[in-house]
Amino acid sequence: MARSDETLAAFLERTRVRVDEALERALPRPPACPAIVSEAMRYSVFAGGKRFRPILALAAADAVATGADAAALPAACAIELIHTYSLIHDDLPAMDNDTLRRGRPTLHVVYGDGIAILAGDGLQAEGFALLAREPADAAFADRKLRVMRIIAEAAGAIGMVGGQAIDLQAAGQAPGHPLDLDADALRGMHARKTGALIRASAVSGAIMAGANDAAVDAVDRYAADLGLAFQIVDDILDVEGDAGALGKTAGKDAAASKPTYPSLFGLERSRTLAADCIARAHAALDEGGLADGRLGAIADWIMSRRN
C-alpha cells in the first residue's frame, strides 16, 4: 500500500524488499528439487534486479483499490519469475550470447548452458504454479484464471517469444529467414518482446485488485506506452551507458547490428519519442481517474533511469 508521505525512491525500495521476501518463500528448495536447480534459479532471481514488473503490478493494484495490493503479490512474483527465465534464455550463446547480467556473470557462464536452460524452464513453470496456488481463497479463482491467460499470452508466441524470434531474424540469427525492420515493425517487435509482459504486469495487478473494465482499460493503455518508453530508453542506454552502471554489456545492439530506436531515429529523436510515450501514459491515467497513485511517478522515473 502506498504511503502519501513516502518518496518514490523509498516506495520502490520498500516494495522491492517485499517482493524479494515473497520470491524467497515461493521458490522451491531441496529436497523438493535438486540442489543445483535451486541454486541456479536463485542465482538469477536474486542477482539484484530492479523488480520493475512486480512493482508495477503492485502499484496498479493499489491505484485501483487502495490496500488491495496484497492480493496481487503472487501474480507480481510470478511475473518476475517468468521475466527472469526470459533473461536466462536471452543470455544463452544461441540467443544474445551475453556474459554479464546485473553486474555479474550470466547463469550459463557459471553453471553451463544445460543447467541454465533447465533453471529458466523451472522458473517459468514455478511462476504459473504460484499463480494457480495463491491466493488460496476461492473468491479469487476467476481473477486468477483471467490473469493466467493474460500472462501466458504475454510470455508466449504472440508476445515475448514472438518478439524475440523477430529480434533474432532482424539480427541475422535465423538462417534462411532474414528480416529488415522499419519503424512500424521495430515498434511491433518491442511491443511483443518487452512491452507485452510490462502490460501484463500492470493489468494483472489491476485485475487481482478487483478493478472494473474501465480501470483495467486505462491501466492497459498506460502500460502499453510505458512499455515502449522503457524499451526506447533501454536502446538509448545501450548507446550511452557503460557496463558498470547498466550491469550488463553496453553496446551489444550495435555490435550485433540489431535495429534499435537510436539506429533508426538518432538519440535526440528517440528521447522525444520516449517522452511522447510517457505523455500518453499520463493521459491514460488522467482519463481513467488513476492519476493520484504511484503509476504516474513510475512513468516519470522511466525517463530518468540509468540502468
Q: How far apart are CA 64 and CA 289, in angstroms?
A: 9
Q: How far apart are CA 249 and CA 213, in angstroms?
A: 41
pLDDT at 6: 84
Phi, psi at 162, each rounded to 5° = -60, -40
Percent of the chain with pLDDT strictly greater than 90: 83
Beta-strand ranges (E) seen in 90-159 are: 100-101, 104-105
User: Which regions of the chain are under pLDDT 70?
Assistant: 1-5, 241-257
- DSSP letter (8 states) at residue 92: S
The residue extents of the domains of the chain are: 8-304
pLDDT in tens, 85-102: 999 999 999 999 999 998
pLDDT in tens, 234-270: 999 989 866 555 555 555 665 566 789 999 999 999 9
pTM above 0.75, yes or no: yes
Q: Identify the helix (H) or strand (E) that includes residue 90.
A: helix 73-90
Fold (CATH) for 8-304: Farnesyl Diphosphate Synthase (1.10.600)
> To 10 degrees, the CA torsion angle through 14, 15, 21, 22?
160
pLDDT at 259: 84
Sign of the alpha-carbon dihedral angle for 64, 68, 71, 72: positive
Q: List the Cα angle 87/89/95 in 5-degree steps.
A: 105
